[in-house]
Amino acid sequence: MSAAAATAAAAIAGALGLAAVLGILHNRRSGTVRDTAGAADLGGTGELGLSETGPTIVHFTAEWCGPCAAVRRLVTQVCAELPQVAHVEIDLDSNPVAGRKLSVLSLPTTFIFDAEGRQRYRMSGIPKTADLRAALDLLLA
């Protein structure tokens, strides 16, 4: 093997290794509930249809998104158990402005807002039921 071929093979192997590490790090965040209480106030979230009496789960979806159906079932189940929690589903294809305002870059993306309309939690991917309940329990306490 020539020196040029060995160098090229080493560069390809390095690039593949870096891509694998970045993919693993990106996927570790999928479904994780992240606290966004310290996030900047976006203001003007009134058009999202948030509840003023309790927390609201805002779920961004699209008709073509397979995992969005799983999130819809999960959120519907949790909201049935916690009637003081409202659920708003927004189709990203029909309302891209709301998605841009909240920096939605992938689907499914789910937010939890408190009764004052402040974004408190954000989840990308399919959250775990226990994590979603724990975040809501903190807001309901």
Instruction: Output 30 or 137, whichever has higher pLDDT.
Output: 137
Question: Which residue from 90, 99, 89, 85 is spatially nearest to 56, judged by alpha carbons?
Answer: 85
Residues 10 and 59 in one domain: no
Residues 6 and 51 in one domain: no
Rounded to an integer, the average pLDDT of 108-131 is 93
Residues 80 and 20 in one domain: no
Rounded to an integer, the average pLDDT of 92-113 is 93
Report the distance separating Cα 13 and Cα 17, nearest Å: 6
What pLDDT, on the 0 to 100 scale, is given for residue 61? 95
Question: Which residue from 141, 135, 105 is spatially nearest to 30, judged by alpha carbons?
Answer: 105
Per-residue pLDDT at 25 exceeds 60: no
pTM over 0.85: no
Residues 14 and 55 in one domain: no
Q: What is the domain extent for residue 102?
A: 32-140
Per-residue pLDDT at 115 exceeds 60: yes
What pLDDT, on the 0 to 100 scale, is given for residue 136? 94
Q: What's the domain count of the chain? A: 2
Q: What are the beta bridge partners of residue 61?
A: 91
What pLDDT, on the 0 to 100 scale, is given for residue 29? 53
What pLDDT, on the 0 to 100 scale, is given for residue 11? 83
Share of the chain above pLDDT 90, in %: 58
Q: What is the average pLDDT score of the chain?
A: 84
Rg (CA), the chain: 19
